[in-house]
Structure formats: structure tokens, C-alpha cells
Structure 1
Amino acid sequence: MESNTSDLDHLTSPSPFLQCDYTDWSPSFSIIPSIYLLAFAVGCLGNALVLWAYLDRTPKRSRRSHLLKFCSPPCPGEEEKAELERNSSSSSSSSSPPTNRPRSLTHSLIASLALADLSFLVTLPLWAAYTALGYHWPFGETLCRLSSFLTALNMYASVFSLSVLSIERHRVLTGPPRRPCPASSRVLAALWSLSGILALPGFLLRSTRDPEWPDPSGSVACRMDYSALIGDQPDEEAREVAQMRWAAVLSLKSTLLGFLFPLAVLLACYCSLARLLGRHFGRGPRPDRPRQRRLLRVIVTLVLAFFLCWLPLHVNKTLSLLLELGFLPYSCVLDQILLAVHPYATCVAYLNSCLNPLLYAACDRSFRRKCGRMLRSTCGERKKKEVGEMIKAVDERSDSSGKTREADAGVEG
């Protein structure tokens, strides 16, 4: 991931196989930035809704009473009923103080997935401008490093969140009913710490300075710089070989740890679950409750979407790496195809961050209900404000008319 985050890396990475003519190749400098900006707008709004929906722990009864209080006037006889309910609730709360129910690990991991997507989506306008300017980075080296780090962090945090989500669903469906759930805070801390460590090369090795490949037009690229790892080697060929080896190591690391190993874990998890659910007429467990089935459907959909979106980019990276290292017979046509496909494969991978909220809305009925409650609550707050302003205006008019009558009475007296 770190070696191929930007589309320009294929053009500027030194390779002993520069035999093809790339003058006729150019990606779309308008379609890809437009897709990035659309993904930024849709993804930020959608993932913010996901964070609100899965982190909100307000009890349903209090939300419902809040909406009834501000969205509809009380009917005759309901004030006494509401007073009795308040008295009973106050007496019960005095005996047992209200406590917030701890957030489930599943909801915490879904919120973690949305947070990972948001952390990457805020960098999409920068990548859109970078592509629209013909792969010229005018934002400085700090933003180049930070944007690359957040891109890699999103990939690792997303796939790790999905892996732990699947393992948690497997544990819930196949384990003992009273089995204790691991602490969400510890799981999330370990998940994000590991993701941050694996994404560090994207921050430490990105650079906008490229003395070996100067651009006469003054264009600045945000690309990987392996000079800190290679050191000072006078032999140009040895530097190219060392640089290619480091690029291969980091690319292999991102493909193995960010794609293949989680894929193997998920396949083992879901194959085991499918085998157990296939024996539901016997003693095998099955998700009997609608909520369990709904959560399982949502998680399977998210997993499929992630791997289908990231598969083209990882296949493209792996084939390019095998071609440069000589494990595949060099073909100019294949090299040109991989170079032409790379920007669009990257675009498909980036679109995954804005697809997740749409998948929640399509598959999770409870998420749709929560969004509907938020809209109704917003409507209720707006109605409450309008009613308050109307009451205030009526009070002001009545006060002014009262003062006018008092002045008139004084004049008559």
C-alpha cells in the first residue's frame, strides 16, 4: 500500500525495464477527481450518521417521550397520566440510579470502521486536486506524509475491524450463551495501535523531494523515498536494486497483512459458521433472533464490499511487483495495461469508504430507524424553537398592549 498509494509511483519509480513508450498514456484528470469529491461528500455525511447511530446510547423510552413532548400537544387527561409516570419513574430512579448500558463490542467495531473511513475521506480533496493537476502536489511535504499515513491507516483499521467483527459474530453464534464479552476499549486500542504501526512507513518514507528524478516543468510528486533505508551507495545500479527490494518488501507487507491474512481469517470464520449453521436441524447453533440474522447479514455485506473494492488494486500491485522483479516474463503490453489500470483500481479501492453507510442503509433496518429518529428529533427541536419564538412574540405584544392601556388610563384620569 505504501509503495503504491499515489498513481504517479509507477511512472517515477526507477526500474531496469523501462523499455516501453508511455508518452501516449494519461489517466483521466477530470473523471477521477470528480469521483473523489463525490465520495468525499457522500462518505463524510454517511459515516458521520453511522458514528452517531452506533455510538448513541440514549434510551429509547426517553427519546420517545422527548419526541412526544415537543412534536405533539398533550391531549386532555394526559397531563395527569404524565405526572404519574414522572412520579413513578422518579421513585424508581431514587431506589436504583440510572446507569448507561455498556456499548457492545459489535457496535464499537462498526463505529471504528466508520471512524477509519472518515479519517481517510478528509484527505480525498487533496488527492482529487493532486490528480486534477496532473500529479502535482502543491500542499507541502507534511500533508503529503499525513495523507499517505491516513490512507494506509484506513486500509489496516478497516480490515482489522471487519476481521474482529466477524470473529465476534462467530463467538456470539457458536459460543456459550453466558460467555463474557471482551472489553471494547482494549480491543479497539490494540486494533488501532497495530494499524498505526503498520501504516507508519507511509508517513516516514513519503517525500516531495526527488533529486534523482528532477522534473523540468517544476512539478512536485508525493511519492515514496527510500533513501533513508538505502543509505549512500555510489553505484546507481545497486541503488536501484536496493530501492526495488524495499518497495517489494513494503508492498508485500501491505498485501499480506492488509488483505491476504485477514481474508484467510474471514474465510475460516465464515466457513466454520456456514458448516455449523448448515446443521441447524440438528444440534448446531443458528441465529434464531432477527437481530442476530440482521447483524450477520450486515457484516457479511461489509466484508464482501471491502474485499471486492480492494482486490483490483492488490492484484495490480502484485502483478507489477512480479513483473519488475523478473518472476513474470517482461511484457511491454502487460506493463502498459497495469499502468493504465492502476489509477482506476485505486479509485475503486477508495470508493469503499463511502459505500459502507449505503450498505448499512440497505441492509440494517435498525440503522434506518435510528436515522429516522434523528430526523424526527431535529424536526421536534425546530418545532420547539418555533413555538418558543411565537410565545415570546405573543408575550411581547401583550406586554406592549398592556402598557398602552395603562398609559391611556393615566391620560383619562
Structure 2
Amino acid sequence: MSDIPMSFPSPSPSPSTPPLETCDYSEWGATWVLIPAIYILAFTLGSLGNGLLPTICTHPVRSAPSRSLTDSLIASLAAADLAFVVTLPLWAAYTALGFHWPFGKFFCKASSYLVAVNMYASVFSLAGLSVERYWVIAGRLQAHRARGSRSRILWIVGGVWVVASILALPALLLRTVMEGNASYRLVSCEMDYSILISTDLPEDREWAELLWTAAMGIKSTLLGFLLPLTILLLCYCSLGHLLSQHFGRGPWADRRRQRRLLRVIITLVLAFFLCWLPFHVNKTLSILTELELLPYSCSFDRALLVAHPYTTCLGYVNSCLNPLLYACCDAGFRRRCRHLLMCHNLKKVVSGLEQSFYEYLSDLNNFWCCKTDSKDLDLK
């Protein structure tokens, strides 16, 4: 598996596995149509939702000072998702063409790098937002509000993007276009570890490439899924315990608010967990099979191969869900969204009235000019 979540045309069996001719590794026929359709749908919804989020977050409203970091992290998450979804048409075409990459080496590297940056930046922004939300509710930001929140925001958000950009560098440096065999004549966009391998023996090179592939896959799973998920679970479990202590013995209205907040928290955690868990499980099982840590089975190996594009798509859907989830969990965000839309509609109405008024004045002026001209002609 590569360092970034992307479909691949063929498996990479370990040296001890049976020959490929003994197992049918052909893709499910619907993949070539269904997967591109999902990518295009995710591109459309993700572009609209994540394109609107930064505008709403930067829309000036009266709010508490602690909201600025929340808004910045939401905007960071939206920017990461938006940078990812703009590459989806390329990957849709790549899949529809049977994993043939016609866009050249530059777009292969650039698109792969954006996907990898998104994978890290979005989940780090989500983890940072979870920690910040717990601090706000627990009242731990009160002592920090006088320390220059703007510089703190720049450090946190900037740190998220710097770390994400560094962790995504393997996709930029190692991704390239590679030609297939003569029978298929496909050009694929995949990781090339040859520059990292010094041995010339074919078997040693194959095993070294397998180890590099496994290392990159494990790195992305640990840093891009398990570590952020651990932070998410710790934050929301602590937050749920805090809310239970605060609201558990209150009146009925407070208990209703407790259930509503806990429901939103569980939704956020489950959305991230359910969207990305299948992909990382599929990738981990494939790595264990290739390293011969799991017994080889033709049917099991083919099931992993067929399921991989769909688990990838499920992870991509998370970029489309994030705007909706944060709109549901943040009442202030919804108010600003309504306020922004109302202002936009009001501006359109005022602009239309101004245009109609100016057209009326223009028609009136033309009428009087024409009338004056006719009188001048009569006098002559």
C-alpha cells in the first residue's frame, strides 16, 4: 500500500505466495463507474460545503474571544478538505480509465501530495479543535485570553500545517508515473522506492520495496488515524464526564441539553471513526499478508483488493461530512450562516431596487429629452 489512500490496479504478493495466474485479481466491473461517480459527488458537495466554511468563520460577528481559535481550526479543516476535493476529478478519471494516469508526472506528484497533506492536516485540525473545545468548556482558557490569542492561533494552526506538510513529503518525493507491461500499456501514478534501495539483487530489491511500503503504510495509520483517534476519544470522554457532572442533577431542560451535547460529541467521534476505520483495517491486513504475518489465501487477498477502492471512498466522504457535522454541533455557527445568507439576500434585493430605480430615472430622462427635442422641432 502507498503512503496515501489511493486505489491501485494490482496486488503486491509476498515472495512466497502462489503465482498470480492461480488467483483472479480482476476488479469488480462496477468499480470503473461507481467509484468515479462517488468521487465526482464528493467533489461537488465538498467544494460547496468547504468553500462556504471559511467565509462563515471569518464573517465578523460579536462572539467570545475564545471563539477565534475554534473558527481558525474549522477554517483550517475546511481548507485541508477543500485542497483535497479539488483533486478528485483527476482520481475519478484515473479510476474510470482502469487506473491509467494521462495527466503527467507533475499532476501525479502534486495531487498525491495534496491528498496526503489533507489526510494529516484535517485530522490534526480535528484533534486540535477537540482539545480546544474541552479547554473552553472546562474553563481552562480563561487564564490564556490575556496572552495574545492571535499569536497563539498562528502557532497552533501554523504548526498543524507545518507538521502535515512534512509528514506528506514522501508522497511528493516518491510519487511518480510508471509504465505498465506491454500487454496493458497503462501509466500508473504510484510510489517508487527505487531511489531508497541500494541492492541490485532482484529478490532483495523486491523485499526492500515491500518493507518500505509497509513502513509508509504503518506510519500513515499510526500518525494519521490511531494517534488522533486516541486524542479524540480522550477529549470527548473527558468532556462527556464533565458534562454529566455539571448537568446530571439539574432540571429537565439542563438534562435535555446534556443529552443533546453528548449526542453531538458521539456523532463527531463516530463519523471520523466509521469513515476511516475500514480503510486502515484493509490496509493493515494487506500489509500483514504481504509480510507473511498472516496466512495467504487467494479469496481473502482478492477480497482486500476489491474492497480497497470502496474503503478509500468511505474515508473521502468524511471531507464532505465535516461541514454538516460542525454546523449541527455549533449553534453560533448556524446563526452566522443564517446572518450571512440574510445579508447576501438583502444585498441582492437592495441591488435590484437600485438597478430598477436607476433604470426608471434613465427612462424618465430619455422621455423628457425626446419631448424637448420634439418641441424644438415644432418651433423651427
Q: Give how far 1:307 is off.
A: 1.9
Q: Displacement, 1:116?
A: 0.7
Question: Distance in 2 between the 1:369 and 1:278 partners?
Answer: 26
2:324 to 331, 353, 358: 358
Residue 262 of structure 1, CA deviation? 1.3
Moved more, 384-393 or 35-44: 384-393
* Structure 1 residue aligned with 2:77: 113
**Partner residue in 2 for 1:220:** 187
* From 162, 169, 173, the counterpart of 2:137: 173
Moved more, 390-399 or 12-21: 12-21
Match of residue 374, structure 1, among 340, 362, 374 = 340
Cα gap change, 1:2/1:185 in structure 2, threshold over 3 Å: closer, same or farther?
farther
Counterpart of 2:165? 196
Structure 1 unpaired stretches of 5+: 61-99
- Matching of residue 5 in structure 1 with residue 8 in structure 2: no
Displacement of 1:390 in angstroms is 1.8
TM norm structure 1? 0.80
Write out aligned runs for 1:24-103 (5 A): 24-26=26-28, 28-58=31-61
Deviation (angstroms), 1:363: 4.1
Structure 1 residue 251 corresponds to structure 2 residue 217:
yes
**Deviation at 1:306?**
1.7
What's the offset of the Cα at 1:371? 3.1
Instruction: Name the CA distance, whole Å, in 2 between partners of 1:373 and 1:281.
Output: 30
Letter in 2 for 1:116: A
> How far, CA to CA, are the matches of 1:319 and 1:4 in structure 2?
16
Q: Please report the TM-score for the alignment, with normalisation by the length of structure 2.
A: 0.87
Cα distance 1:207–1:50, how it changes in 2: closer, same or farther (>3 A)? Answer: same
2:303 aligned partner, one-letter code: I
Aligned to 2:268, which of 292, 302, 315?
302
Going from structure 1 to structure 2, the CA distance change for 1:261 and 1:381 (only over 3 Å counts) comes to: same
Q: Is 1:294–1:364's contact at 8 Å kept on the other side of the alignment?
A: no
Maintained 8 Å contact 1:14/1:240: no
Task: State how far apart, in whole Å, the 1-side matches of 2:140 and 2:8 are.
Answer: 52
Alignment gaps of 5+ in structure 2: none
- Which digits, 9 at most, give the CA deviation of each residue in 1:308-361, with x for residues without a partner? 101000000001111111111222221111111111101111111111123234
**Within 5 A, what are the aligned runs for 1:230-309?**
230-231=197-198, 233-280=199-246, 301-309=267-275
Deviates more, 1:115-124 or 1:19-28: 19-28
Is the alpha carbon distance of 1:371 and 1:169 closer, same or farther for their aligned partners in structure 2, counting shifts above 3 Å? closer
* Larger relative contact order (Cα-Cα within 8 Å, sequence gap ≥ 6): 1
Determine the structure 2 residue equivalent to 1:96: none
d(CA) in 2 for partners of 1:149 and 1:295?
A: 36
Cα offsets for 1:248-283 (capped at 9, x unmatched): 111111010111111122222222233333333799
Change in 2 beyond 3 A, CA 1:369/1:335: same
Query: Cα–Cα, structure 1 residues 282 and 293, in superposed 2: closer, same or farther, change >3 Å?
Result: closer
The alpha-carbon deviation at position 134 of structure 1 amounts to 0.5
Asked if 1:326 is matched to 2:292, the reply is yes
Amino acid at match of 1:255: T
CA deviation string 1:22-79 (max 9, x = no partner): 254435100110011011011100111112111212569xxxxxxxxxxxxxxxxxxx
Letter in 2 for 1:137: W
**CA distance in 2 between partners of 1:361 and 1:247 (Å):** 38
Name the Cα RMSD after superposition.
Answer: 3.0
